[in-house]
Structure 1
Amino acid sequence: MVAHEHTIDAAITRWSSVGLDRELLEEVLVYCAERRCEADRVTCPGCRLRTEKQGLKTLDDFAASHAEITFASSPVRLRGTGTRQGTAESLEHLARTWAGEEYWFWARRVIRKLRHGIRRADQTGEPVPNAGESPVVILVRPQLAENIGMVARAMANFGLEDLRLVEPRDGWPNEKARVAASGANFIIDGGQAYSTFKDALAGLHWVCATTARQRDLAKPVLTPEQAVSEMRRRLAEGQRCGILFGPERNGLETEEVANADAVMMAPVNPNFASLNLAQAVLLASYEWMKQAGGGTLGRVTTYEAPLQPGTRDRGSPPATKEELMAFFEHLERELEAQGFFNPPEKRPSMVQNMRTMFTRMGATEQEIRTLRGIVKTLVHAKRSGRRSP
């Protein structure tokens, strides 16, 4: 049992007096995760949706919506034109939190933990749908069961499914491998152990051997990209292919490499070419998925669409030019008050440099709000006589 399981169980126990159980908790979380509150025109205190519904785009707007905001750690008071009274730990804390939390995002995360179980070693995992035939991964005399599990995880990440083991030192099946697979148990469950190298090659038409050492053998030497391209061509013709990986300590013996049709070697630092077993398998597996074109950027769940390269992950929208210009004016006004533009004749070039710098960062709405909050906090600290640590 891991920490979040204890947290969920503790919360349910604490709230059981009001009738909360896992089923009801999931209903509440789904309501939040799917943002059904928008259709019902209701929001929760502290949620960013409430701030957005109120039309508050900046910390200035938020402060203006209150009659007064006081701070536990400062005599500073912010007075606005609203009727509400507000309190905060500090001005800095308010600048970070005034916009509210994305409760729906956290609800989605808790749902995943609630639905998909806690101990990944108990999960089965799933292969890539409609992936078709893939090469066999053959581990020759693997020494640690944990490494086999990490190999299975790498395979599952990138769409390889068929695992064969030659004389695994720790025996097979092995619970340590299952735990290390972190949920890739469909590969662990399907993995087959063989007593001889010859038996593990049964049914295969073309095999490449991975190695970091040059061998005195007349074999084609291929990069992972080239080797995967060759395997894809052969698989399309109905042939079965495999990739050989040697023991953790010394890799494949030359006699074993001699039985392969080609050698796969990755471009590496010539002064440090050794990869651990799972890393080597991951390199080949990644190339397989890349050429298949069936992967997504990161995990995709019920509530998340696949990302495209260059897309902001969960970021707020890009700042508008109006928001950017308002920030520039705010910053320049406060810098002017502090005598920053000295000598005065250099002010135009200094302003130009600052605007160029901030424009280049491609700031989001949230980042501009944060920057304005920082400026305001520094100014208030200066005016109230507080010294920076």
Structure 2
Amino acid sequence: MTGRGLCETENDLNAGIESENRGTAASVRIGPGGEPVLGARDTRVAEVVHACHSVSIDQGLETLAIPGLTRLTLEPVLQYCAGLKCIEDRVTCPGCKRRTEAQGIETLDQFILSKKEIVVGDGRVRLKGEGTETIKTPCLESLAKQWSGENYWFWARRVIRKLRHGLRRAHMKGEPVAGEGETPSVILMEPQLADNIGMVARACANFGLDDLRLVNPRDGWPNEKARIAASGANYVIDDARPFEKLEDSIADLNWVGATTARQRDMRKPVLTPEQAIAEVRTRIARGERCGILFGRERNGLETSEVANADALIMIPVNSRFASLNLAQAVLLLGYEWMRGDAGRSLGRVTTYEKPLNEGLYMGRDRPATKEELVGLFEHLERELEANGFFNPAHRKAVVAQNLRTLLTRMNATEQEVRTLRGIVATLAQGKGKARKGAQ
């Protein structure tokens, strides 16, 4: 059975989601207070973004309890904020950095003056201003950090990524066999610290790994500390699955590689991360499920646990200091996975940021044409000749050739050529006469 038969293609899935969204989406409108709101209770868009960002999407929607607002109708609301459509509507939400900017407030002093009173803590400290609004803050330190507001538009973009991931997983169908685009499972054996689980989740999100499995985590699961340490990789945290036994966590897998820094007297293949990921890709391509097992922070994997693996994965390290942090080990394997992913990108790519390719980044500039370069050469040589640079004269041809070689090697843009010609003209004729004398 192929992956396409088990899971809808991404285009079909997106089309289905968009169709459902169009039919039931909760619409954003401008409320009586001049703020973007939705629902019968005029819930502000910023409140929706905050609720779904601070916890899981499902928890946020449950807390908001807005009729008609579900996972399938949430994205248009988020897109309103993420796309900064409030700028077109000339509205802002309380607590948003855009409101502070729209009010022309640039410093904490200006912010305090814009309020009638700011009540700090239990009220014994009060800051008087010249405005009409009274607000409260737990402490001066909190005020100093938060007075300018939150970047809700950025939060909204994060929630959209988390939402789309969840919708795709919800539409997967069929038996537990790897479908197109599926990634290897990351299995943590008895992780001790919730913070480490969060950092592992972040590493997974960095490199496109989305199936995190936890075997008997010491501090229980779910754990809010892990979410905090994940730094926004909430969808990995939300989908992480706890298991009581190792055997249960790998029951649906066809191949498992166990990471270890210790030499084991076991007759198993020993693979580098690069070799292990190559094996994983080969197996997933033919419909198998694969996983990578990571040991405890304190003492790694027991030999009895390694016995369940099909191969050992050993990361090249300094032999005198071979111990790796758990998240670092996951990150190294994740990096190898991403290297071979056709969908990888250099840096962040969003709806608003385009992917970059290896090599010289040109932005919107175009490379200079040979005609433009020759114009630069001739301009420079003419001014050098006029100022007696070519001395002795019989060396002129060689020096000019070297200059052309140097300037050609720059791969200059059209704008850079014009800048260089302006510099040459200014140096030759003096400030204010450069453009007049340029050829």
Match in the other structure for 2:101 = 11
Match in the other structure for 1:141 = 190
For residues 2-41 of structure 1, the aligned pairs below 5 Å read 7-14=97-104
Letter of the structure 1 residue corresponding to residue 332 of structure 2: L
Displacement of 1:373 after TM fit?
4.5
Preserved CA contact (<8 Å) 2:204 2:331: yes
Q: Using a 3 Å threshold, how does the CA distance of structure 1 residues 371 and 220 change in structure 2: closer, same or farther?
A: same
Match in the other structure for 1:51 = none
Corresponding position: 1:257 with 2:347: no
Corresponding position: 1:124 with 2:124: no
Match of 2:397 among 348, 359, 366: 348
Preserved CA contact (<8 Å) 1:205 1:239: yes
Preserved CA contact (<8 Å) 2:213 2:249: yes
Letter of the structure 2 residue corresponding to residue 365 of structure 1: E
Displacement of 1:323 after TM fit?
1.8
Query: In 2, Cα distance between the equivalents of 1:121 and 1:305?
Result: 19
Match in the other structure for 1:28 = none
Match in the other structure for 1:282 = 331
Preserved CA contact (<8 Å) 2:190 2:296: yes
Q: Percent identity?
A: 61
Preserved CA contact (<8 Å) 2:187 2:292: yes
Query: In 2, Cα distance between the equivalents of 1:272 and 1:329?
Result: 60
Match of 1:231 among 272, 280, 285: 280
Query: In 2, Cα distance between the equivalents of 1:232 and 1:365?
Result: 44
Displacement of 1:152 after TM fit?
1.7
Q: Specify the SS of the correspondent of 2:264.
A: coil
Match in the other structure for 2:145 = none
Query: In 2, Cα distance between the equivalents of 1:361 and 1:273?
Result: 43
Query: In 2, Cα distance between the equivalents of 1:150 and 1:291?
Result: 23
Query: In 2, Cα distance between the equivalents of 1:269 and 1:341?
Result: 56
Deviations 1:1-34 (A, max 9, x none): 9xxx86523222239xxxxxxxxxxxxxxxxxxx
Displacement of 1:187 after TM fit?
0.8
Preserved CA contact (<8 Å) 1:210 1:246: yes
Query: In 2, Cα distance between the equivalents of 1:234 and 1:244?
Result: 16
Displacement of 1:230 after TM fit?
2.7
Query: In 2, Cα distance between the equivalents of 1:308 and 1:220?
Result: 36
Q: Using a 3 Å threshold, how does the CA distance of structure 1 residues 347 and 297 change in structure 2: closer, same or farther?
A: same
Letter of the structure 2 residue corresponding to residue 191 of structure 1: A
Query: In 2, Cα distance between the equivalents of 1:246 and 1:9?
Result: 48
Deviations 1:306-350 (A, max 9, x none): 555447352511011122122223333444455443433322222
Corresponding position: 1:174 with 2:212: no
For residues 1-389 of structure 1, the aligned pairs below 5 Å read 7-14=97-104, 115-117=153-155, 124=162, 126-127=164-165, 131-236=180-285, 238-268=287-317, 273-302=322-351, 306-310=355-359, 312=361, 314-376=363-425
Displacement of 1:232 after TM fit?
3.4
Preserved CA contact (<8 Å) 2:96 2:152: no
Query: In 2, Cα distance between the equivalents of 1:294 and 1:274?
Result: 31
Q: Using a 3 Å threshold, how does the CA distance of structure 1 residues 127 and 214 change in structure 2: closer, same or farther?
A: farther
Query: In 2, Cα distance between the equivalents of 1:133 and 1:123?
Result: 17
Letter of the structure 1 residue corresponding to residue 413 of structure 2: T
Highest relative contact order (Cα 8 Å, sep 6+), 1 or 2?
A: 1
TM-score, normalized by length of structure 2? 0.54
Query: In 1, Cα distance between the equivalents of 2:208 and 2:330?
Result: 12
Q: Using a 3 Å threshold, how does the CA distance of structure 1 residues 316 and 185 change in structure 2: closer, same or farther?
A: same
Give ranges in structure 2 of 5+ residues lacking alignment. 1-49, 51-94, 106-150, 169-178, 434-439
Displacement of 1:358 after TM fit?
1.6
Query: In 1, Cα distance between the equivalents of 2:242 and 2:222?
Result: 8
Q: Using a 3 Å threshold, how does the CA distance of structure 1 residues 210 and 373 change in structure 2: closer, same or farther?
A: farther
Deviations 1:247-273 (A, max 9, x none): 345433444323311011234555665
Preserved CA contact (<8 Å) 1:121 1:179: no
Mean Cα deviation higher: 226-235 or 371-380? 371-380
Query: In 1, Cα distance between the equivalents of 2:298 and 2:387?
Result: 64
RMSD: 3.8
Q: Using a 3 Å threshold, how does the CA distance of structure 1 residues 282 and 322 change in structure 2: closer, same or farther?
A: same
Q: How many residues align?
A: 285
Give ranges in structure 1 of 5+ residues lacking alignment. 16-112, 385-389
Q: Using a 3 Å threshold, how does the CA distance of structure 1 residues 127 and 310 change in structure 2: closer, same or farther?
A: farther
Q: Specify the SS of the correspondent of 1:165.
A: strand
Query: In 2, Cα distance between the equivalents of 1:167 and 1:242?
Result: 17
Q: Using a 3 Å threshold, how does the CA distance of structure 1 residues 119 and 343 change in structure 2: closer, same or farther?
A: same
Deviations 1:253-307 (A, max 9, x none): 4443233110112345556655433332233223334444233444444456555
Q: Specify the SS of the correspondent of 2:394.
A: helix
